[in-house]
Amino acid sequence: MLVREALAWGILELEDFTSKQLEARILLASVLKTTQEDLLIRYNEPISQEEESAFYQYLKRRKALEPIAYIVGKKEFYGRDFIVNKQVLIPRPETELIIDRVVLEYQENFAGKEVTILDLGTGSGAIAVTLATLIPQAKIVATDISDEALALAAENAKLHGSIAQIQFIKSDWYSNLPGKKFDFIISNPPYISPDNKIYMAQETILYEPEHALFAVENGLINYRKIIFGLNNFLKNENKVFLEIGFNQAEDVINILKEYPFTEIVISKDLSGHDRVIEFKFI
């Protein structure tokens, strides 16, 4: 079988998927350990029996709605590839907004200075590792309750040369942290209400870890836990950055009203949805 024949076969197998051509290219490029662009150069080259078999297995997994990121073992985030598996949430483009907001705050108020950052619920490490690469002066503590997630995040830190900047700690939010305060605290916590499961993509429900997606109290319980402990871990006059669901801004602001926070800012993602809330502790 030639590369072009394999691609045609893949597109036919994935005919029920909106992005069937792109997905076929991604899967075949992964099997052949090449780029999508190089597939065109190799269009008339044969593939081996082993590669054909591996491609068949990839297509079979995709037809069972397994996310492509888990099949190929990686996902791009902020221009970098991150290793992912079923133990961690797949990084989303919307989460890149939290990177933009933190980097802007650093440039405006800390430029050139060492800065300490706490990343609560790091998952794949996408946020922590990206910030470490963009802010070489950053010293980051990244937490998670999952040993598997922490191991994977450390792999990603090694992959991108930032392992020396990040300390990984197993912790349920603040429960196992050393007694120190940070310049920034950031988190993309689980925030989907279990009641909203019926509206979600099947591939997410079937394959991504529930503990990284869902939160009780209409998705707000983790914001309450994070906000409640902030005064013990955030330096005065410094900022917190939290990713939120598109309809949660008002609810999170109401939680904040119970505490001494100020300068609340809501930022929208590229789809125009509320996505990041940031505020100062006073």
Sheet holding 115-120, edge to edge: 166-170, 138-144, 115-120, 182-187, 234-243, 274-281, 261-268
> Residue 208 phi/psi, 5° resolution?
-85, 150
User: How many Cα atoms sit within 13 Å of 229 on the Cβ side?
Assistant: 20
260 pLDDT band, cuts 50/70/90, is: confident
Same domain for 104 and 202, yes or no, is yes
Q: How confident is the model over 86-111, as a mean pLDDT? A: 97
Among residues 156, 115, 157, the alpha carbon closest in space to that of 135 is found at 115
Is residue 97 assigned to a domain?
Answer: yes
Domain count, the chain: 2
pLDDT more than 70, % of the chain: 100
For residue 9, give its domain range: 3-64
- Structure confidence at residue 40 (pLDDT): 87
Query: Which residues is 186 bridged to in the sheet?
Result: 119, 241
Inform me whether the pLDDT recorded for 277 exceeds 90. yes
Q: Which residue has the tokens 């008339």?
A: 44
Kindly state whether residue 111 falls inside one of the protein's structural domains: yes
Q: Does 161 share its domain with 270?
A: yes
Last residue of a domain, one of 25, 43, 64: 64
Q: Tell me what the mean pLDDT of segment 4-33 comes to.
A: 97
* 3-state DSSP assignment of residue 190: coil
| pLDDT greater than 80 at residue 282 | no
Question: Per residue in 176-217, pLDDT tens?
Answer: 998 899 999 999 999 999 999 999 999 999 999 999 999 999
Do 53 and 91 sit in the same domain of this protein? no
- Report the residue count for the chain: 282
| H-state helical runs in 42-134 | 49-63, 68-72, 96-109, 126-134
Confidence (pTM): 0.94
Q: Give the domain CATH number at 153.
A: 3.40.50.150
Interatomic CA distance for residues 17 and 37, integer angstroms: 21
Distance between CA atoms of 175 and 97, rounded to whole angstroms?
A: 27
Considering the domain architecture, whether residues 7 and 138 belong to the same structural domain is answered as: no
- Secondary structure percentages of the chain, helix, strand, coil, to 5: 45, 20, 35
> What CATH number is given to the structural domain containing 56?
1.10.8
How does strand 166-170 pair with strand 138-144? parallel
Query: Would residue 205 count as lying in a domain?
Result: yes
Does one domain contain both 151 and 25?
no
In angstroms, the CA 101 to CA 11 distance is: 39
The values of phi and psi at residue 84, to 5°, are: -135, 155
